[in-house]
Amino acid sequence: MTDNKMLQGLLLICIVCLLGATAVTLLDYSRYTEDGSARVAAAAEAAPETATAPESASVLRLAPEDTWAVGIVDVKALLAAQIIQALKPEAEPGMPAMDPTQMAQGVDSVATFGFTAGEEMLWCALVECQEGARAALEQQIVQMGEQVTVAGLTAYAIKPPAAEPGMAPMAPADIPGVPDLSAQEGVLAFADDTTLLAGSSESALGTMIANYQGDSGAGVGSELQQLLQGQAGSQVQFAAVLPGALSDLVPEGQAGEVPAGLASLKGGALGVNLAADVKLAAMLRLGTDADAQQVVQEATAQLDPLKQQVQQMAQADAAMQPLADAVNGISVSSAGTDVNMSATLTADAIKSLPALVMAAMMGGMGGAMDMGGEAMPEPAFDFGTE
């Protein structure tokens, strides 16, 4: 596999992920009625103006030492967004309405920190809850976890659900590039009636408890803070400064497969805002201007076949046109060492997204789709070897 082909494939995945990152949480809503656009418009008139994301400075002080990634989510604003309200599935006859957001009800915001402890990469989080929400949330946690004690607090260790009877758990080898999550766990504890703390392990939770109870932490470095500030006001803010060279962070034996254009990757940021549509903005910070320009050139080259593919799907099915418009609206540019990407997803584009993912998967498996008698263009997902 050449570096160039790996870079092309990785860039295209980044582009599709940019379209799909927020849509993943909305796909459960895709079974809305045919007058979905009208529902969005109605929600726009009826829904109150959403609040801006929480002030990040107040929680950054709690960051553990050696924090290299921060994520802040204004859950309350997301749940109140017009597009969320418009895309909630309607109840089937004789059945109660399903609300995929129910698990998040009662949560105001979430702040997550990724940090290193020796050679370990850990995470911890602070969840701000609404008054009176603890009982319902705690009931769910108790049902899912095993009780432990961490730093004097009653906590619950939660592991992913076991495989169904007769089904083997999925291993990393089943999906190339996807880590094995079967051994991962989260540990949660209420620090008080409106604050839920979490960590990837008991030690990570212990760090979060100590920082919260002491009302102080190590804070974050100036570069990470600057990247996060670039997404200020977004309902979802994420920023990361890699704790080492990208080649040192990939699994052992794969360091030589890091694409040349991304070898100097230093970090990046993501911002997501939901209103009547979904707006995404992402950036990558490279080591040199030339590397940033190379990434833009490769991304631009990969967008053309993707646009052609989606447009052919839209010609065969008019319902795909909103997604074609979203793909055509993707912007990729560079400014110095930064690569900036942006996209907008309407409700109708989100509804069409699964079809694009399926087409990409079929293309990646060497299959072909016949759209209205025309062969699909050569899939852009090219991971072949030379």
Are residues 208 and 126 in contact, defined by beta-carbon separation less than 8 angstroms?
yes
Burial class (CB in 10 A: 0-12, 13-18, 19+), 91: exposed
Full residue range of the structural domain in which residue 114 is found: 54-91+102-163+180-233
Band (310; pLDDT cuts 50, 70, 90): confident
Within-domain flag for 65:
yes
Non-local CB neighbours of 237 within 8 Å, separated by 6+ positions: 53, 56, 70, 71, 72, 73, 228, 231, 269, 270, 271
Intra-chain end-to-end CA distance of the chain, in Å: 6
Residue 170 falls inside a structural domain: no
Lowest mean pLDDT among 225-234, 292-301, 352-361: 352-361
97 found inside a domain = no
Q: For the sheet containing 153-158, what is the strand order?
A: 146-150, 153-158, 186-192, 195-199, 120-129, 107-117, 67-73, 236-241, 267-274, 278-285, 338-345, 331-335
Compute CA distances 31 → 19, 182, 196, whole Å.
Answer: 19, 30, 33
Kindly report the average pLDDT of the chain as a whole number. 75
Among the ranges given (52-61, 219-228, 375-384), the one the predictor scored with the smallest mean pLDDT: 375-384
Number of separate domains in the chain: 2
For residue range 111-165, list pLDDT tens digits in order.
999 999 988 889 999 999 999 999 988 988 898 889 999 999 999 998 766 655 6
- Does residue 379 fall inside a structural domain? no
Q: For the domain that residue 206 is a member of, what is the CATH number?
A: 3.40.1000
CA 194 to chain centre: 25
77 and 131, same domain (yes or no): yes
d(CA 338, CA 331): 14
- Chain CA centroid to CA 294, Å: 25
Q: Tell me the pLDDT tens digit for each residue of 6-31.
A: 333 333 333 333 434 433 333 333 33
Q: What percent of the chain has pLDDT over 70?
A: 65
Region class of 20: left (phi > 0), else alpha (psi between -120 and 50), else beta: alpha
Under 8 Å between Cβ of 108 and 75: yes
Q: Do 148 and 188 lie in a common domain? A: yes
How confident is the model over 324-371, as pLDDT tens digits?
899 899 999 999 999 999 999 888 888 777 777 776 666 544 444 444
Instruction: Identify whether residues 275 and 353 lie together within a single domain.
Output: yes
Residues 23 and 112 placed together within one structural domain of the fold: no
Residue partners of 8: CB distance under 8 A and separation at least 6: 298, 301, 302, 380, 382
Q: What is the pLDDT of residue 69?
A: 95
| Residues 301 and 226 occupy one common structural domain | no
Can you say whether the dihedral through the CA atoms of 12, 278, 69, 239 is positive or negative?
positive
